[in-house]
């Protein structure tokens, strides 16, 4: 089916990877803080460091209370997806998870981690977490990577959560990637080989952390650059990827994602639908829904490290508020201004090509 035939998009229920972004569920992707114990080359200094302050336990709980109350008012449940930085290095993270767990309208509590914290800490969190994803970064030593893989195997044995791995496809690591894929398959661990966005802010990399701290106002430009990337033409994207990956690596990435074992997105036509995975769509360049009506802000929220709340990961539209201040919860869909929808979380949010197709994805 050609992408031109698609008239609406919705998410799927998947017992393997993620709970459907149901119209009666708000998916809140919460970037809980910049602090991280890694310093990956492809992760901008604007979204990670080793010194930024943690959100206070009080502020975090107040936001959870506010969002839970909003969901009650609109008769929806909430799904938290918490990432960073590295969430588990927050000194009160387990207490924050415990507070979220007290809310009766939480449909899912997912966390993304780099898998480097003590195994005991992860096991304690299993009391609250429903979905755990380990992003396996490969710029560490072989010994560190091997230790993390061993921990991944142990975490996959915990029955109380749905477990998966984002295997970060770092250029120049194809042999190691194949080795790790073999191990994950041997232990029947669900994973996605994650194509990395090439660093778009190389000029920032020349700054030391101290210099960056003195020039923090550049973060506005960083976010503008990230949004500009989503309006690249196909030719620009081709050059973009070729500047980062070899031809062999790009071919391997395309083939690998064809083997993803679950579907998480439904593509509606005028008289039917097909189902696939968002990473497959991205590898095909079929993730373009510019000028469509999108329900980010209705079905989703994105909370940045500084507490600013946006409709979605794409940060389209003005911020709708900030933790500790008034949040103006959206009540209507927004017209997508972007050529490409890059984030998997945003891709599965309901969308329709025009008003006549909204009935395919309504809340009934």
CATH architecture of 3-361: Alpha-Beta Barrel (3.20)
pLDDT in tens, 139-160: 999 999 999 999 999 999 999 9
Question: pLDDT tens digits for 295-352?
Answer: 999 999 999 999 999 999 888 888 999 999 999 999 999 999 988 888 888 998 899 9
Per-residue pLDDT averaged across 41-54, rounded? Answer: 85
More confident call, 132 vs 214: 132
Model pLDDT for residues 110-129, shown as the tens digit of each residue: 999 999 999 999 999 999 99
The H or E element spanning position 135 is: strand 131-136
The whole-model pTM stands at 0.84
CA trace torsion 259, 260, 261, 262 (10° rounding): -140
pLDDT band at 14 (very low <50, low <70, confident <90, very high): very low
Per-residue pLDDT, 229: 60
| Longest Cα separation, the chain | 57
Answer whether residue 218 shows pLDDT above 70. no
User: How many other C-beta atoms lie within 10 A of the C-beta of residue 355?
Assistant: 9
CB 193 within 8 A of CB 253: yes
Cβ neighbors of 77 (< 8 A, separation 6 or more) are 24, 25, 26, 71, 105, 106, 107
Return the C-alpha torsion angle 318, 319, 321, 324, nearest 10: -150
């Amino acid at each position: 089916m050609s992408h031109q035939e698609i008239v609406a998009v919705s998410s799927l229920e998947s017992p393997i990877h993620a709970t459907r972004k149901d119209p009666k569920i708000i998916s809140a992707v919460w970037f809980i803080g910049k602090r991280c114990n890694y310093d990956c080359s492809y992760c901008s200094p604007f979204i990670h460091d080793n010194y930024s302050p943690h959100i206070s336990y009080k502020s975090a709980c107040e936001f959870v209370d506010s969002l839970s109350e909003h969901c009650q008012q609109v008769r929806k449940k909430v799904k938290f997806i918490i990432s960073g930085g590295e969430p588990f290095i927050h000194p009160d993270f387990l207490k924050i998870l415990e507070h979220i767990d007290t809310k009766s309208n939480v449909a899912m509590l997912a966390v993304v981690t780099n898998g480097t914290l003590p195994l005991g800490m992860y096991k304690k969190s299993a009391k609250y977490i429903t979905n755990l994803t380990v992003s396996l970064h490969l710029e560490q030593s072989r010994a560190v990577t091997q230790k993390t893989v061993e921990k991944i195997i142990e975490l996959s044995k915990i029955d109380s959560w749905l477990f998966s791995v984002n295997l970060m496809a770092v250029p120049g690591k194809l042999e190691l990637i194949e080795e790790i894929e073999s191990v994950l398959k041997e232990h029947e661990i669900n994973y996605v080989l994650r194509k990395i966005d090439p660093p778009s802010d190389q000029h920032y990399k020349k700054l030391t952390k101290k210099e960056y701290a003195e020039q923090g106002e550049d973060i506005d430009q960083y976010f503008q650059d990230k949004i500009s990337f989503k309006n690249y033409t196909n030719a620009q994207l081709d050059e973009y990827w070729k500047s980062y990956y070899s031809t062999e690596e790009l071919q391997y990435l395309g083939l690998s994602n064809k083997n993803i074992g679950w579907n998480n997105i439904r593509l509606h036509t005028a008289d039917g639908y097909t189902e696939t995975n968002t990473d497959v769509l991205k590898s095909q360049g079929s993730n373009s829904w510019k000028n469509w009506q999108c329900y980010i802000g209705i079905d989703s929220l994105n909370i940045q490290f500084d507490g600013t709340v946006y409709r979605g990961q794409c940060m389209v539209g003005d911020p709708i508020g900030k933790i500790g201040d008034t949040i103006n919860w959206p009540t209507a869909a927004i017209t997508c201004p972007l050529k490409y929808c890059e984030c998997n979380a945003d891709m599965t949010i309901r969308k329709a090509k025009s008003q006549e197709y909204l009935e395919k994805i309504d809340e009934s």
